[in-house]
Structure 1
Amino acid sequence: MAESENYKKGTEIRRKLMGEKYADAMNKSVYADPMMQKFGDYAREAVFGMLWSRPGLDLKTRALICVISDTAQARWPELAIHLRMARNQGWTEDELSEALLHLGGYIGLPSVREALLTAKEVFEEMRHEK
């Protein structure tokens, strides 16, 4: 794929959100497959390059929106990625846990339980990376 300005911008934003090591690891594992590479290229250009870079909200707020959306839709693998992004943007473990608990009254406890279990794993993984 030719690298458009949105692709370049998206690559930079993605690395900032995920952390360089994690983004590189995903590139070498998930996106090494030709089919998934197409998906990754599209996501970098359209989602990270165009959507995440829009004015009006900072990256920290956008990351929290993704955590909430993933939890509401029971998207556990995506939640793990977005929790990492949220932590990298400055949300604390306590703040994210509280946001997830708050959802219990709106989307139900089973989804919140799974989200908290996912958060527990991600937070532990991130603590060991430091």
Structure 2
Amino acid sequence: MTNPNPEDTAPLFNMLRGAAPVLVPFTQDRIVDELWHRPGLSARDRAIATVVTLMARNAQNAYPYYFNKALDSGVTSAEFSELVTHTAFYAGWPNAFAAAGVLKGIFDERGVAVEDLPTVEEARLPTEVAVPDDALRAAYIAAHIAPASEALQHFTNDLLYANLWHRPALEPRDRALATVALLAALGQSAFFPVYLTRALTQGVTRTEVGEMLAHTAFYGGWGYAIQAAEAAKSVFDAQDAGA
């Protein structure tokens, strides 16, 4: 397999011209030339939002192009590896497995060795850094999850939070941004406010959230983006009212 050049859209556009030619100018003018160049979100953050959205939707045809684009936009191989692991928890193991297979081929072509990737034994970040709202989270799990599923409570507390969210392979801000993008792409508006509040605490700005939602619209669907935007507005309104 040859790595697609993230700047070479000719193969995609040649295919589109024979099936849905109107998508060519829409894609070139509004995604390639406009969306990816808007100043409110860095290219690296746009790449993170895009690849986790694609993984959430299991959009495998887009993986080679956008996985390479993410690596060329400043996402390190270790960070990308951790994004796949993180996606497994929020979008399911099968979606993560599909992404890992493509990413392994890209890593091989780029000379990325397994020694360059995160390990299970990495030291954990302190709770106040990794999950500053952990007391609220634990109370919610105890009140709403434990009565229905002791097993889900166990894995949520012991694996998702005591382990995954404390891993240092992603900065807490990047992990929070990726999670918000994942939830938006999955239409998880009920949990979106909780994770958005955490992301804002971790340093993600409202402007960055707004730009990320535009990526959700293009790569995940307008309906999901609007649903997430409504949930985001409720968080912003509550913060402003309490200011």
TM range (shorter): 0.7 to 0.9
The yes-or-no answer on 1:110 pairing with 2:223 is: yes
Q: Secondary structure at the match of 1:57?
A: coil
The yes-or-no answer on 1:12 pairing with 2:127 is: yes
Measure how far apart 1:11 and its partner are. 9.8
Amino acid at match of 2:192: L
Measure how far apart 1:60 and its partner are. 0.6
- Structure 1 equivalent of residue 186 of structure 2: 73
CA separation of 1:10 and 1:115: change in aligned 2, threshold 3 A: same
Partner of residue 171 from structure 2, selected from 23, 40, 58: 58
CA separation of 1:11 and 1:25: change in aligned 2, threshold 3 A: farther
Measure how far apart 1:65 and its partner are. 0.7
- Structure 1 equivalent of residue 121 of structure 2: none
Deviations 1:72-120, CA, capped at 9 Å, x for gaps: 1111112121111101101111111111112221112111111100100
User: Where has structure 1 moved over 6 Å in runs of 4 or more?
Assistant: none
CA distance in 1, matches of 2:220, 2:159: 29
CA distance in 1, matches of 2:161, 2:189: 20
Measure how far apart 1:68 and its partner are. 0.8
- Structure 2 equivalent of residue 96 of structure 1: 209
Larger proportion of helix: 1
CA distance in 2, matches of 1:97, 1:51: 26
RMSD between aligned residues? 2.9
Amino acid at match of 1:59: P
Structure 1 spans left out of the alignment, 5+ residues: 1-8
- Structure 1 equivalent of residue 157 of structure 2: 44
Q: Secondary structure at the match of 1:77?
A: coil
Could you tell me whether the CA contact under 8 Å between 1:14 and 1:48 is conserved in 2? Answer: no
Measure how far apart 1:35 and its partner are. 2.9
- Structure 1 equivalent of residue 81 of structure 2: none
Structure 2 spans left out of the alignment, 5+ residues: 1-123
Measure how far apart 1:13 and its partner are. 5.4
Could you tell me whether the CA contact under 8 Å between 1:104 and 1:112 is conserved in 2? Answer: yes
Could you tell me whether the CA contact under 8 Å between 1:60 and 1:89 is conserved in 2? Answer: yes
CA distance in 2, matches of 1:65, 1:74: 14
Which has the higher relative contact order, 1 or 2, with Cα contacts under 8 A spaced 6 or more apart? 1
TM-score (norm 2): 0.42
Deviations 1:29-87, CA, capped at 9 Å, x for gaps: 435x5335653443121011111112211111001111111111111112121111101
CA separation of 1:97 and 1:55: change in aligned 2, threshold 3 A: same
Amino acid at match of 1:91: V
The yes-or-no answer on 1:26 pairing with 2:140 is: yes
Q: Which has the larger radius of gyration?
A: 2
